Amino acid sequence: MSANLVYVLNGPNLNLLGMREPEIYGSDTLDDIAGMLEDRAQELGLEVEVRQSNHEGHLVDWLHEANAEGAKAVLLNAGAYTHTSIALLDAIKSIKVPVIEVHLSDPMTREPFRHVSYVGMGAVGEVKGLGAQSYVVALEKAAKL
């Protein structure tokens, strides 16, 4: 059991944060965000495990792993898979660990194809539209679970 461990799982193209459409996603890199999360986690008495993959199945496997590890929560920014992946929804529904959906931007104010969230159909909560701070606020939510 890792009752203080929070997995922070990031999907496709989030490895390019910092240079990827900075007018939408900001200038922080994923490493910067990981650093912010580690600092806040320490204050909250938590540990974070930050990962990124461009492959849907890796995200599914990591959700299963978080469950097997008895993690406290998963923060999931599934990137574009948010809007397409029934496999991720099924994984979220298959595990006991609560999942919080995270987005840097607010997909609801963007193109209509971003308005559907399969992740959101299984998640216990969401934080979006705050840039890198979305992750920190989501971690604070996770601390209260």
The minimum distance between CB 46 and ligand DQA, in angstroms, equals 21
Nearer Cβ to ligand DQA (107/120): 107
Strand stretches in 5-142, DSSP E: 5-10, 47-52, 73-77, 99-103, 125-128
Q: 140: buried, middle or exposed (CB in 10 Å: 19+, 13-18, 0-12)? A: middle
Binding mask 42-61 for ligand DQA (x = CB under 6 A): --------------------
Element (H, E) at 13: none
Q: Considering only residues 95-114, where is the footprint of ligand DQA by CB under 6 A?
A: 103-105, 107, 114
Query: Tokens for 91?
Result: 């994984």
Look up 25 and say whether it is catalytic. Answer: yes
Question: Does residue 58 have an active-site annotation?
Answer: no
**Smallest separation (angstroms) from ligand DQA to the CB of 55:** 14
Q: For residue 138, report the phi and psi dihedrals to the nearest 5 degrees.
A: -65, -40
Cβ contact 75:92 at 8 Å:
no
Stretch that binds ligand DQA, among 28-36, 76-84, 90-98, 119-127 (CB under 6 A): 76-84
Q: Which of 114, 66, 130, 127 is nearest to 94 (CA)?
A: 66
Binding to ligand DQA, residues 13-42 (CB under 6 A): 13
Residues forming the active site: 25, 103
The contact set with ligand DQA (CB under 6 A) reads 13, 77, 79-80, 82, 103-105, 107, 114
